[in-house]
Each structure stands twice: as C-alpha cells, then as structure tokens.
Amino acid sequence: LRKSPWPMISMNDSINIVMNNLIPSDVWTVPLREALGNVIADDILAQDPLPPFRASIKDGYAVRSQDGPGEYKVLGGYSAGNKCELMELTPNTCVRVNTGSMVPASADAVVQVEDTEVKVSDKHGNELCIHILVTVKSGQDIREVGSDILKGETVLQKGDLITSPEMGLLATVGVTKVPVYKLPIVAVLSTGNELVDPDEPLGEGLIRDSNKTTLLSLLKENGFTGLDMGVSKDEPTELMRNLKNCLASSDVVITTGSVSMGDKDYLKSVLKQDFKADIHFGRVNMKPGKPTTFATCIFEDQKKKLLFCLPGNPVSATVTFHLYVLPALKTIAGFKEPFPTEISAKTETELFLDERPEYKRGMLSWNEKDSFPVVRTTGNQISSRLLSWRHANCLLKLPSSKEAGSSLPSNSIVTVLIVARI
C-alpha cells in the first residue's frame, strides 16, 4: 500500500500555518480615484469642519426666533455657493436663504418657505415684505459649523475598507492622496499535460483548462490583480521555468494540479530542489482539497514569496481558494476580517458525512417561518463537477463521520461560510 510522505494535518492547523507565514504588508499612497477597494493604512482626520460655515437646511428665511410670527422686511438674499455680504438682522427683518447657503451671524433660525406668505414684491419679483405664519425655535433648520464633522475628527480608521461611502468621505474632507495597504500581485499557473486553453481545439485525451479562468475571475471579483501565466506541462524542467517566471513577476503564486500522488506530479520536488522552498504542509484532512500544498521561498530578488499549490480538480481548486488563498491575500492587504463570514443555517435534507470534514457547495434561502436560513446543496458534489458552483453562495462546513455519525438529519443546524453575494 503506497502512502504519501506528507503527514495529514487538520484544517485549523493548516490555516494557522498559512497565517503565520505571510509576507509583510506594504503601504503606499494612491490618488483618490484609485483608492476604491483598498484598505486604509492610517487614520484619516478632517482638515476642516463640516459644514465650514453656518448653513441653512431648507429654502426659506433666516430670522431671529425671538421675533415670532408677523410681518418681516426682507433685507436681501443668500444663495448657496456665493460669497454673501454682511447683513445684520434687527427686529422683524429677515434674509432669504437657500438650502446649503450661509446664514447671517445674527440669525438663529430658518423658517421654511412653506410657512410664509409674500406680502410685497417689486416690479422684478424681488420680495420686499413677507408674513411669517409660525413660531420657530432657536437653532431650527440650521447646521452649525462642525455639526457633521469637527476639525481634527477621525473620519476613517486604519483598517477600514474603502467602498463608495468612504470614497465620499475622503472627498468631503479633501484627502486626495490616500495611504493604503498595497495589494499583492498574484500569478496563476495551471499544470497538466491534458490541458489546453479554452480557445484551442480538443484533441484525444485533452480537456480545456477552466481553473485559471475561474481563479483569475475570483481574484478580480475580490479586487486583486491576477497574472495569467499560462499552462505548464507536467515536466520538471518546464515546471521550473514557468515557476521562475511566476516568482519573478508576483508576490503570491497560485498553481493548480501536480500535487497529488500521480507519477507526473512533480511540483513539490521542483519546489524543494530548484527553489529551496519550505513546504509547510502537503496534505490536509479535508474534502475536497486533501492534496493542498502551501510553500514559501526566498527568490532571486531576496523577497519572500508565497506559493499556494491547489488540487487540479476545479471544485477543489475553488474551495481551497476561498479557504486559504483569499484570507491570506486579504490579510496582506490589511483587511480586518479576512475570513469568510460564518452563519448558522438549517439543512433542507439529510446529509451524508465523509470521514474527512467536508465543504459542500450550498444555496441559502430565507422564509418568514424559520428563525434560521435554510441551506441546500447544489447537487452532485464530486470534485471535478464545476457545475456544483453554478448557483452556490456558501460552503456547508460539515463534521467528520468519525465525530458526528454517518449522516445529519434534515433540519440540522450547521455552520455555513458565505462565499458569494446572497
């Protein structure tokens, strides 16, 4: 009976090994227009208060609240975006204001247009006298200086992901050069004598390579730059040459295939012999993904490189990308929460368990009756069946049959990992 020379380790141990052997995070400054999707590397403080002046919340009239309802002389008007001449309010006088315009220093409230009547206008339509119909309180419909954001206030914190609201805040406080964590560059290489590119005709014994396309798409979906490094034949010299190209052009290398126990699976030996790589693990107690391999090496540029050598089966490659590669990339990129979100869900049907902990592809749904979402698998879970990912938005994290018996009955509560939009 042939056995792998690599010890089988647990999922928890393998994830800890990866997270303890990452490359350091680099910080650089990018223009605001390029900051979306990055993680902020330093606290962002407001350089100015917002609003920087007393601003009207509504279209109406700036008044002294103490004067109450009655007839008012209109001294003039302030419009948004314009420099306003100084106007001093006296009893029963007012200034016309627009939403967002300045408010005279002597006014302490704004009366909305709807609560007034025009009494006298000149021949050009300029209001000269109005009747105010309501009583207003001091401070009504005025944004005071700094009422939204104080000068020096921390508006974004180190570790915040920059999405559209953060982009707006950065623009609001005038930060056009943004300190962010540098995203690692990732090279993706498929291996296998049987693989051809999708645009090539199929010959006997050949299949189209889907792993590279899938992984490059997953990288792009998650904001990372992926380099297409092609397909390598299962031959030591060609593998060495292709891996050298990958390491020279990236921080992290993802390969698929050539990590199991086939007579053409040379990847581990090439890594050790040609690159003096440290192979931290080569087998994991999981399904799918048992031959997943993680290695590090110091390359010619004297920089540490990460190598995620994933199984060649399409489902295995995608599952292990979500469990290992993406959390590692997110950690390097400064994400506070790099791992998939875990929630509890109720199984729709009975689920049969494997002796290895298994990650089944699943679909979550909600209804008004249940306090838990319902999860069902996407059908046949064989590791070569990429269709099992077609409608999946989660992975069911199932225990070993050695721990939980041969199956879980329907309506069991299980942990699921969110891996796609719900």
Complete edge-to-edge strand list for the sheet that includes strand 304-310: 225-232, 185-191, 252-256, 304-310, 293-298, 278-281
Mean pLDDT of the chain: 94
pTM of the model: 0.90
Residue type, 261: M
| Residue 239 phi, psi dihedral angles, 5° rounding | -60, -45
Q: Grade residue 148 by pLDDT with cuts at 50, 70 and 90.
A: very high
Burial 401-412 (b: 16+ CB within 10 A, else e): beeeeeebeeeb
Closest listed residue to residue 147, CA positions, set 55, 285, 41, 212 = 55
C-alpha distance from residue 57 to each of 84, 95, 199 (Å) = 17, 14, 60
* Cβ atoms of 267 and 293 closer than 8 Å: yes
> Which domains, and CATH codes, for the chain?
11-25+183-333 (3.40.980.10), 29-50+147-181 (3.90.105.10), 55-143 (2.170.190.11), 342-418 (2.40.340.10)
DSSP class of 301: T
The per-residue pLDDT for 385 is 65
> What digits encode the pLDDT tens for the residues 197-232?
999 989 999 999 999 999 999 999 999 999 999 999
Task: DSSP for 110-139, please give it.
Answer: EEEGGGEEEEEE-TT--EEEEEE-S---TT
| pLDDT beyond 90 at 260 | no
The per-residue pLDDT for 384 is 55
The per-residue pLDDT for 110 is 98
DSSP-derived 3-state class of residue 2: coil
Query: How many CB atoms within 10 Å of residue 353?
Result: 19
> What digits encode the pLDDT tens for the residues 325-342?
999 999 999 999 999 999
Residue 363's Cβ-side half-sphere holds a number of Cα atoms within 13 Å equal to 11
Strand partners, 244: none
> What digits encode the pLDDT tens for the residues 401-413?
999 999 999 999 9
DSSP-derived 3-state class of residue 260: coil
